[in-house]
């Protein structure tokens, strides 16, 4: 029986957001250079005839999943809550173009939980989403861990 291994891949994207009713400067539209660390767990393939022998997942496959489910949608977008002022939201859509409307306040904490929801059922058989770490700034991040959310 093989060992359970965790593998991680980093992704980066640019995104703006606005926090409705926030009492600080983040109540204004502003952007970040996000870094997302996706960690999966599984047992490496143990089959010398399989081209993925020794891998939990091919990093290219992981990259394609994350690009499709998260980066292609959120990169260079402005993210706003559905309950944001309708008139301002229409102005942002016209001004910024790629506006993503979500059902939550788009904080780093809520974004990482949303990303986990978008990814957890996309993994191949035997591979599990272990954790996500989303850096909003170089020194600040939110983390989602599967075992905390079962």
Q: What are the catalytic residues?
A: 26, 76, 136
Q: Are 20 and 83 in contact (CB under 8 A)?
A: yes
**Using CA atoms, how far apart are residues 97 and 91, in angstroms rounded to an integer?**
10
**Using CA atoms, how far apart are residues 53 and 24, in angstroms rounded to an integer?**
51
Strands 30-42 and 5-17, by their bridges, are antiparallel
Q: Are 58 and 52 in contact (CB under 8 A)?
A: yes
């Amino acid at each position: 029986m093989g060992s359970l291994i965790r593998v991680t891949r980093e992704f980066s994207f640019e995104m703006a957001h606005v926090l409705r009713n926030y009492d600080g400067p983040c109540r204004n539209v502003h952007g970040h250079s996000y870094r997302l660390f996706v960690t999966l767990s599984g047992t490496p393939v143990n089959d010398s005839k399989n081209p993925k022998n020794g891998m939990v997942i091919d990093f290219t496959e992981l990259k394609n999943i994350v690009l499709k489910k998260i980066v292609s949608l959120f990169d260079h977008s402005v993210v706003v809550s559905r309950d944001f002022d309708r008139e301002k939201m229409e102005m942002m859509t016209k001004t910024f173009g790629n506006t993503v409307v979500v059902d939550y306040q788009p904080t780093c904490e809520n974004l990482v939980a949303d990303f986990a929801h978008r990814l957890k059922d996309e993994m191949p058989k035997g591979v599990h989403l272990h954790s996500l770490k989303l850096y909003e700034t170089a020194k600040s991040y939110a983390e989602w861990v599967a075992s905390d959310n079962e």
